[in-house]
Amino acid sequence: MKKFAVRSTSLLLAAGLGLAAATAWSAESLQDVMKRRNLSQQDLLAASKTYVPTGKRDEFVTFSSGGQSGQVIVYGIPSMRILKYIGVFTPEPWQGYGFDENSKAVLKQGRIDGKDITWGDTHHPAISETNGKYDGQFLFINDKANPRLAVIDLRDFETKQIVVNPIYKSEHGGAFVTPNSEYVIEAAQYAAPLENKKFYPLEEFNEKYRGGVTYWKFDRKEGRINPKESFSFELPPYSQDLSDAGKGPSDGWAFTNSFCSERYVGGIEKGRPPYEAGCSAKDTDYLHVMNWKKAAELVKAGKAKVINGHNVIMMETAIKEGILFLVPEPKSPHGVDVTPDGKYMIVSGKLDTHVSVYSFEKIMAAIKAGKFESKDPYGIPVIAMKDALDKQVQLGLGPLHTQYDSKPCLAYTSLYVDSQVAKWNYCEGKVVDKLSVHYNIGHLMTMEGDSVDPKGRYLVALNKLAIDRFVPVGPLHPQNHQLIDISNDKMQLLYDMPLPLGEPHYAVAISADKLKPGVRYKVGTDSRTDKPHPGKALAGEERTVKKGNQVTVYGTLIRSHITPETIEVDVGDEVTIHLTNLERAQDETHGFTVSTYNVHASIEPGKTVTVKFKADKEGVYPYYCTEFCSALHLEMQGYLLVKPKGWKATKTTLAKGSYTEAEYKATVKKVVDTQVIIDSVVAYITSVNYKDFPDVVAMVEDAFDQLGKTKGLKEKHEAFAAKKDWENANLWAEQIWQYQVKTADLGLRAKTYLEQNGAKKVAK
Ligand code: RUQ
Ligand code: CUA
């Protein structure tokens, strides 16, 4: 009772004090604060638009590329509070990503030529779509440096799959999804021979180097990409850049930009003009227009060539079948963004002051009429720009990317050189507002702004430089995401958020209520495969199995112990430890590591994870839980004992603690007193409509689960007491109290929740 009473009294005390403090010191007014902090009315307005009070949640969730970190960054809008980093192409220790066997298996899928690649250059995340709307089920992201694509399941925000592009050496224009996530688009960037590890000199660039666009088939039921049903278009060695899938009337088609259609190969060290001159010399590059629906049929009909085990529709076939066309687009284009109604493709040329609005209808009419101005050197029909353009609108210097508003015809385009966002009307072809940002904006993003149903409200400018925005932290500055309010006619800059993990290229944001992540796994799940884990163990099933030099531990974790608490092996043994988290309570994650063996796992409720290592050093290695999970978290520990060859025990009993009868009796009294508190909490909970609160139901279940573990322990301590074994008697009684504390902790949490959320008395 003692320890417990102190705890609850101190809580009460703290609450009382807090209240008193608020009344006594709240003299500072809003005006005072404005003056003291030198804030303007405008600042206050901006602050009130981004501030999310404690306990409240954001309206939108952003998935930002983590750039060179190889991860995904998740943050809320409008608060700009970071919620998570998702380990994708790079190990992430907290999540055990790359330090436990199950996640290592995912990273291993990303090996290239038999080698680990433990970093990635992530550029473009994409949320899965249903009928062109974000559905919040999956997230895809690419790695530009090592041509790979990852699948993240938004039920648990974990990376489930990495696929390596079998024919490219780099890729940039991914990930973009078709309107029902049938395919995930990934375009090559720097042309190279499609065959793997094949050398051709640069003199054979035009003949042997190729670009391409890959369509990865996504199996939504499995939640995985199916490489066998995926395919690519072979394309000329123009640097294919960003892509977008058609929607509505243009569904079935996709559009990919390119730069360096000059096919220039540089060589400044040999006295040749550099890439930058040679790759931007012509007035136009090409928009690639592809019919992916028909391409998929051709692949089914066996018309693809298999290169490195992957289906490739060769240019010759695509031309003959009428599924590939080119349209000139002004100088070094970057973004191509299909309008929400699917009627137009908006293209920005980095070296042009205009955006070009292409009409899908006009392009189709030209194709139907066979009206082409020429063929490119590879025989691909070229549609004249004037036959494809709806209009061009002058916006400013360095237009890059375009996103859409919830209001019809309104678009936002980033102006890299001007460091501005241009708001304009693509139906009327006029600029309606401009806002300066800091500095050199790359991508921009509106809420669900590349879907058929943009939500408007906010825009984020993803700036390339931060320069003087933040407190200096050395020559490498953080990145700067700026939040802009777009709900009114005039845009308003609200907030600068430093992002210190890599250069995030693109981001996507979804209404928070569309995300439905789980809080626990079905007990014994391998979260990386979504299947039952063969190493699963329930309470009472824990065991250590030794076969030759293979030691396999089937362990469990629950507040506040790891079972087993000792693992004995011989030096040189291969050790496999499977751990199941038996908790059901939300947020009761345990971590696990063994000293100096470079393993770590994050084991969320219900999950089973495996760590594996060779016990190649004799000695004593503590293992412990790495998450502060409970009051006795520090005691959540154990020893890995690695015995030397031929070791013989000389001492066979453990040291005894010296406990007295009086101590035993005190412990028993503590147990009885604590039960009184538990009973009173239970009486409160069952007197209200707690069953209407799923979170509370889970806590109550868990509390009784803990209490259930005391079964049989009373008999145990009493039996030891009868034998006057005060150590065992006292410690088993103490163990009852440990379970009671956890029960009471959950019970009090439930009680507070009910009181704060307006639980009502129920009739008995
Ligand atoms: S990028 S700033 Cu999408 Cu990789 Cu444009
Ligand atoms: Cu489990 Cu700390």
Q: Is the CB of 709 under 6 A from ligand 1?
A: no
Q: Residue 145 carries which side chain, given as an amino acid letter?
A: A
Taking CA atoms only, the protein residue closest to ligand 2 atom 1 is 590
pLDDT digits (tens, 9 = 90+) for 78-93: 999 999 999 999 999 9
**Which runs of E-coded beta strand occur in 625-660?**
637-643
Q: Which helix (H) or strand (E) holds 44?
A: helix 41-50
Residue 477, token pair as written in the block: 């500055």
Determine if the peptide bond prior to 722 is cis (ω within 30°). Answer: no
Q: Is the CB of 358 under 6 A from ligand 1?
A: no
| Residue 332 pLDDT exceeds 80 | yes
Which among 653, 669, 656 has a CA at the least distance from the CA of 726? 656
Residues in the chain, total:
764
How far away, in angstroms, is 552 Cα from ligand 2 center?
Answer: 22
Q: Is the CB of 443 under 6 A from ligand 1?
A: yes
Which atom of ligand 2 approaches the CA of 562 most closely?
Answer: 1
Q: Which residues pair with 523 in a beta bridge?
A: none
Q: Which ligand is nearest to the CA of 257?
A: 1
Is the CB of residue 368 less than 8 Å from the CB of residue 387? no
Which among 625, 602, 609 has a CA at the least distance from the CA of 85? 602
Going by C-beta distance under 8 Å and a sequence separation of 6 or more, which residues neighbour residue 125? 63, 64, 65, 72, 139, 140, 141, 175, 506, 507, 508
| Residue 19 pLDDT exceeds 50 | no
Q: Residue 599 carries which side chain, given as an amino acid letter?
A: V
Place 23 in a pLDDT band, splitting at 50, 70 and 90.
low
| Residue 116 pLDDT exceeds 50 | yes
Taking CA atoms only, the protein residue closest to ligand 1 atom 2 is 442
pLDDT digits (tens, 9 = 90+) for 368-396: 999 999 999 999 999 999 999 999 999 99
Query: How confident is the prediction for the chain on average, in pLDDT?
Result: 93
pLDDT of residue 7: 43
Out of 190, 334, 348, 437, give the residue to mutate to test ligand 1, the one with the largest number of ligand atoms within 8 Å of its CB: 334
Q: Is the CB of 400 under 6 A from ligand 1?
A: yes
Give Cα 665 to chain centroid, integer Å: 53
Q: Is the CB of 442 under 6 A from ligand 1?
A: yes
Is the CB of residue 761 less than 8 Å from the CB of residue 687? yes
| Residue 219 pLDDT exceeds 90 | yes
pLDDT of residue 764: 65
Out of 141, 400, 402, 441, give the residue to mutate to test ligand 1, the one with the largest number of ligand atoms within 8 Å of its CB: 400
Going by C-beta distance under 8 Å and a sequence separation of 6 or more, which residues neighbour residue 485? 46, 49, 457, 458, 491, 492, 494
pLDDT of residue 560: 86
pLDDT of residue 539: 87
Report the distance separating Cα 208 and Cα 202, nearest Å. 9
Q: What is the DSSP string of 454-493?
A: --EEEEEEEES--TTSS---SSSPPEEEEEEE-SSSS-EE
Per DSSP, 693 falls in state -
More confident residue, 591 or 281: 591
| Residue 720 pLDDT exceeds 80 | yes
| Residue 41 pLDDT exceeds 80 | yes
Report the distance separating Cα 423 and Cα 302, nearest Å. 47
Q: Which ligand is nearest to the CA of 170?
A: 1
pLDDT of residue 25: 58
How far away, in angstroms, is 551 Cα from ligand 2 center?
Answer: 24
Alpha helix ranges (H) inside 608-693: 661-687
Is the CB of residue 389 less than 8 Å from the CB of residue 330? no
Residue 54, token pair as written in the block: 């404690």
pLDDT of residue 721: 95
Span between the terminal Cα atoms of the chain, in Å: 29
Place 114 in a pLDDT band, splitting at 50, 70 and 90.
very high
Going by C-beta distance under 8 Å and a sequence separation of 6 or more, which residues neighbour residue 360? 246, 249, 250, 253, 342, 343, 344, 345
Is the CB of residue 277 less than 8 Å from the CB of residue 367? no
Decide the pairing of beta strands 183-187 and 176-177. Answer: antiparallel
How far away, in angstroms, is 632 Cα from ligand 2 center?
Answer: 8
pTM for this model (two decimals): 0.92
Taking CA atoms only, the protein residue closest to ligand 1 atom 1 is 505
Place 754 in a pLDDT band, splitting at 50, 70 and 90.
very high
| Distances in whole angstroms, Cα of residue 528 to Cα of each of 102, 142, 155 | 6, 19, 12
Q: Is the CB of 416 under 6 A from ligand 1?
A: no
Buried b (16+ CB within 10 A) or exposed e, 715-733: ebbeebbeeebbebbbbbb
Report the distance separating Cα 632 and Cα 643, nearest Å. 29
Q: What is the DSSP string of 285-320?
A: EEEEEEEHHHHHHHHHTT-SEEETTEEEE-HHHHHH
Which atom of ligand 2 approaches the CA of 633 most closely?
Answer: 2
**Which runs of E-coded beta strand occur in 360-447?**
374-375, 381-382, 389-394, 399-404, 410-415, 420-425, 430-436, 441-447
Report the distance separating Cα 506 and Cα 442, nearest Å. 8
Report the distance separating Cα 539 and Cα 556, nearest Å. 7
Decide the pairing of beta strands 566-570 and 637-643. Answer: parallel
Is the CB of residue 643 less than 8 Å from the CB of residue 603? no
Report the distance separating Cα 203 and Cα 462, nearest Å. 39
Which atom of ligand 2 approaches the CA of 634 most closely?
Answer: 2
pLDDT digits (tens, 9 = 90+) for 509-565: 999 999 999 999 999 999 999 999 999 999 889 999 999 999 999 999 998 899 999
Cβ < 6 A, ligand 2 pocket:
590, 625, 627-629, 633, 636
How far away, in angstroms, is 4 Cα from ligand 2 center?
Answer: 21
Per 3-state DSSP, what percentage of the chain is helix, strand, and coil (rounded to 5)? Answer: 25, 35, 40
Q: Is the CB of 124 under 6 A from ligand 1?
A: yes
Decide the pairing of beta strands 82-87 and 574-581. Answer: unpaired
Query: Hey, CA dihedral for 514, 519, 522, 524, is it positive or negative?
Result: positive
Q: Is the CB of 148 under 6 A from ligand 1?
A: no
| Residue 436 pLDDT exceeds 50 | yes
Helices 2-25 and 661-687: crossing angle in degrees, nearest 10, is: 50
Which atom of ligand 2 approaches the CA of 626 most closely?
Answer: 2
How far away, in angstroms, is 506 Cα from ligand 1 center?
Answer: 7
| Residue 18 pLDDT exceeds 90 | no
How far away, in angstroms, is 653 Cα from ligand 2 center?
Answer: 29
Report the distance separating Cα 596 and Cα 581, nearest Å. 23
How far away, in angstroms, is 462 Cα from ligand 1 center?
Answer: 10
Residue 223, token pair as written in the block: 């939640």
Q: Which ligand is nearest to the CA of 461?
A: 1
Report the distance separating Cα 596 and Cα 261, nearest Å. 53
Greatest CA separation for the chain: 102
How far away, in angstroms, is 335 Cα from ligand 1 center?
Answer: 8
Q: What percent of the chain has pLDDT over 90?
A: 85
Report the distance separating Cα 522 and Cα 518, nearest Å. 10
Q: Which ligand is nearest to the CA of 626?
A: 2
Out of 256, 415, 443, 460, give the residue to mutate to test ligand 1, the one with the largest number of ligand atoms within 8 Å of its CB: 443
Report the distance separating Cα 711 and Cα 21, nearest Å. 45
| Residue 8 pLDDT exceeds 50 | no
pLDDT of residue 705: 84
Q: Residue 752 carries which side chain, given as an amino acid letter?
A: T
Report the distance separating Cα 748 and Cα 607, nearest Å. 26
How far away, in angstroms, is 499 Cα from ligand 2 center?
Answer: 30
Q: Is the CB of 328 under 6 A from ligand 1?
A: no
How far away, in angstroms, is 643 Cα from ligand 2 center?
Answer: 27
